[in-house]
Amino acid sequence: AIRMTQSPSSLSASTGDRVTITCRASQGISSYLAWYQQKPGKAPKLLIYAASTLQSGVPSRFSGSGSGTDFTLTISCLQSEDFATYYCQQYYSYPLTFGQGTRLEIK
Protein backbone atom coordinates (compact mmCIF):
# COMPACT_ATOMS: atom_id res chain seq x y z
CA ALA A 1 0.00 0.00 0.00
CA ILE A 2 1.15 3.56 -0.70
CA ARG A 3 1.81 5.42 2.51
CA MET A 4 0.81 9.09 2.69
CA THR A 5 2.61 11.25 5.23
CA GLN A 6 1.41 14.75 6.08
CA SER A 7 3.35 17.48 7.81
CA PRO A 8 2.95 19.09 10.13
CA SER A 9 0.52 17.00 12.19
CA SER A 10 -0.79 20.20 13.73
CA LEU A 11 -0.43 23.86 12.99
CA SER A 12 -1.41 27.04 14.79
CA ALA A 13 -2.18 30.13 12.75
CA SER A 14 -4.15 33.35 12.81
CA THR A 15 -6.93 34.66 10.63
CA GLY A 16 -5.40 36.26 7.55
CA ASP A 17 -2.28 34.08 7.59
CA ARG A 18 -1.05 32.05 4.66
CA VAL A 19 -0.51 28.41 5.53
CA THR A 20 0.91 25.42 3.70
CA ILE A 21 0.39 21.75 4.45
CA THR A 22 2.58 19.09 2.89
CA CYS A 23 1.72 15.56 1.84
CA ARG A 24 4.36 13.05 0.75
CA ALA A 25 3.67 9.71 -0.93
CA SER A 26 5.86 6.67 -0.35
CA GLN A 27 6.08 6.21 -4.12
CA GLY A 28 5.20 8.27 -7.16
CA ILE A 29 1.49 8.86 -7.68
CA SER A 30 1.59 11.28 -10.63
CA SER A 31 -1.15 13.83 -9.83
CA TYR A 32 -3.67 11.35 -8.43
CA LEU A 33 -4.12 13.26 -5.19
CA ALA A 34 -7.09 14.80 -3.41
CA TRP A 35 -7.38 17.09 -0.39
CA TYR A 36 -10.26 17.10 2.10
CA GLN A 37 -11.34 19.37 4.94
CA GLN A 38 -13.04 17.89 8.00
CA LYS A 39 -14.68 19.80 10.81
CA PRO A 40 -15.54 18.16 14.15
CA GLY A 41 -18.53 15.84 13.94
CA LYS A 42 -18.81 16.28 10.17
CA ALA A 43 -17.94 14.23 7.13
CA PRO A 44 -14.87 15.19 5.11
CA LYS A 45 -15.43 17.68 2.32
CA LEU A 46 -13.58 17.47 -0.99
CA LEU A 47 -11.47 20.58 -1.66
CA ILE A 48 -9.06 19.68 -4.44
CA TYR A 49 -8.54 16.76 -6.83
CA ALA A 50 -5.95 15.91 -9.43
CA ALA A 51 -3.49 17.65 -7.10
CA SER A 52 -4.48 21.16 -8.17
CA THR A 53 -8.07 21.27 -9.46
CA LEU A 54 -10.44 23.13 -7.17
CA GLN A 55 -13.74 21.37 -6.51
CA SER A 56 -16.79 23.39 -7.51
CA GLY A 57 -17.86 25.80 -4.80
CA VAL A 58 -14.55 25.78 -2.92
CA PRO A 59 -13.12 29.26 -2.28
CA SER A 60 -10.18 30.32 -4.43
CA ARG A 61 -8.01 30.94 -1.36
CA PHE A 62 -7.44 27.17 -1.40
CA SER A 63 -4.87 25.88 -3.86
CA GLY A 64 -2.93 22.69 -4.42
CA SER A 65 0.27 21.83 -6.18
CA GLY A 66 2.75 19.03 -6.75
CA SER A 67 3.17 15.79 -8.60
CA GLY A 68 5.07 12.57 -8.14
CA THR A 69 5.67 12.21 -4.41
CA ASP A 70 5.43 15.73 -2.97
CA PHE A 71 2.28 17.82 -2.72
CA THR A 72 1.13 20.96 -0.95
CA LEU A 73 -2.17 22.49 0.07
CA THR A 74 -2.05 26.26 0.56
CA ILE A 75 -4.65 28.50 2.12
CA SER A 76 -3.77 32.03 1.10
CA CYS A 77 -5.69 34.07 3.65
CA LEU A 78 -7.10 32.07 6.54
CA GLN A 79 -10.70 32.64 7.44
CA SER A 80 -12.32 31.56 10.70
CA GLU A 81 -14.20 28.77 8.94
CA ASP A 82 -10.94 27.23 7.70
CA PHE A 83 -9.86 25.96 11.10
CA ALA A 84 -10.32 22.22 10.68
CA THR A 85 -8.40 19.03 9.97
CA TYR A 86 -7.08 18.44 6.47
CA TYR A 87 -6.40 15.09 4.81
CA CYS A 88 -4.71 14.10 1.59
CA GLN A 89 -5.70 10.95 -0.30
CA GLN A 90 -3.94 9.12 -3.11
CA TYR A 91 -5.91 7.40 -5.82
CA TYR A 92 -3.04 6.19 -7.94
CA SER A 93 -3.55 2.60 -6.86
CA TYR A 94 -5.51 0.34 -4.57
CA PRO A 95 -5.89 0.37 -1.67
CA LEU A 96 -6.92 4.01 -1.63
CA THR A 97 -5.06 5.60 1.26
CA PHE A 98 -5.21 8.81 3.27
CA GLY A 99 -2.65 10.84 5.14
CA GLN A 100 -2.90 10.94 8.91
CA GLY A 101 -4.31 14.46 8.90
CA THR A 102 -3.15 17.98 9.76
CA ARG A 103 -5.06 19.83 12.44
CA LEU A 104 -5.18 23.57 11.81
CA GLU A 105 -5.85 25.49 15.02
CA ILE A 106 -6.39 29.10 15.91
CA LYS A 107 -3.33 30.76 17.44
Which residues are at the interface with other proteins (CB under 8 A)? 1, 32, 34, 36, 42-46, 49-50, 55, 87, 89, 91, 94-101
CB of 85 to other proteins, least distance (A): 9
Nearest residue (CB) to other proteins, 11 versus 98: 98
For residue 95, the number of C-alpha atoms closer than 13 Å in the C-beta half-sphere is 6
Least distance in angstroms from the C-beta of 61 to other proteins: 20
Long-range own/partner contacts, residues 20-23 (CB < 8 A, 24 or more apart)? 20/72, 20/73, 20/74, 21/72, 21/73, 21/74, 21/86, 21/102, 21/104, 22/70, 22/71, 22/72, 23/66, 23/70, 23/71, 23/72, 23/73, 23/88, 23/99
Residue (16 or 41) nearer to other proteins, CB: 41
- Spatial CA neighbour of 49 closest among 100, 3, 96: 96
Closest separation between CB of residue 34 and other proteins, Å?
Answer: 4
**Identity of the residue, 24 or 45, whose beta carbon is nearer to other proteins in the bound complex:** 45
Q: How far is the CB of 28 from other proteins (least distance, A)?
A: 16
Q: Which is nearer to other proteins, 19 or 90 (CB)?
A: 90
